């Protein structure tokens, strides 16, 4: 199993969620045991020796691999959810997306000053939603933040956008926006 095998298993959905967006659907790769294991194992390999104490998954596709990675590296799992989905006191960040605005939240007591955090999501596009997640985690004053996504949409410059935000960014592989 290679990154190229996983890339070939990802479905492209034109005009979703709005016209002009080429949506990269990883559910077709997740449905394959070999692809799912490769993605989880590759993330674990990259982060197992970084001292990570919490893996933060962004709703919703970030919830798929983040808990499995957390269990494997001996860390906890913390969800970042959309507005009004968490039951206890939260911290929030509102941000602009390519096709609208959104608010994300995390429990106020989910992280501590001693935590080393890995934020995980499926796709890094322009970097807007990941920047919001980074800002949310920073509100709780953690020691260090790493960022991982399965796919980096090349040509949208999300990685460059996140540079200088005191995080290390890594993606398992890149895909051209029009692929």
What is the C-alpha R_g of the chain? 16
Whole-angstrom Cα distance, residue 58 to residue 138? 15
Active site residue 152: no
Examine the residue annotation and report whether 159 is marked as an active-site residue of this protein.
no
Name the pairing type of β-strands 100-107 and 116-124: unpaired
Under 8 Å between Cβ of 69 and 42: no
Residue recorded with tokens 């890594």: 170
Q: Which of 4, 11, 32, 98 is catalytic?
A: 98
Choose the catalytic residue: 8, 32, 42, 61.
Answer: 61
SS (H, E, C) 78-141: EEEEECCCCCCCEEEEEEEECCEEEEEEEECCCCCCCCEEEEEEEEECCCHHHHHHHHHHHHCC
Helix axis angle for 62-73 and 33-47, nearest 10°, is: 50
What positions carry a catalytic annotation? 61, 98
């Amino acid at each position: 199993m290679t990154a190229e095998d996983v890339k070939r298993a990802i479905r492209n959905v034109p005009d979703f969620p709005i016209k002009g967006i080429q949506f990269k659907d990883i559910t077709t790769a997740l449905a394959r045991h070999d692809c799912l294991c490769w993605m989880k194992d590759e993330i674990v390999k990259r982060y197992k020796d970084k001292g990570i104490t919490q893996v933060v998954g962004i709703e919703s596709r970030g919830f798929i691999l983040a808990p499995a990675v957390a269990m494997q590296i001996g860390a906890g799992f913390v969800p970042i959810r959309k507005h009004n989905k968490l039951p206890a006191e939260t911290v929030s960040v509102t941000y602009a997306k390519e096709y609208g605005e959104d608010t994300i939240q995390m429990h106020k007591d989910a992280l501590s000053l001693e935590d080393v955090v890995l934020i995980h999501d499926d796709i890094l596009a322009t970097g807007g939603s990941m920047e919001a997640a980074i800002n949310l985690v920073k509100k709780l004053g953690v020691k260090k933040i790493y960022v991982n996504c399965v796919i980096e949409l090349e040509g949208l410059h999300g990685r460059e956008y996140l540079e200088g935000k005191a995080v290390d960014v890594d993606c398992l592989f890149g895909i051209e926006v029009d692929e």
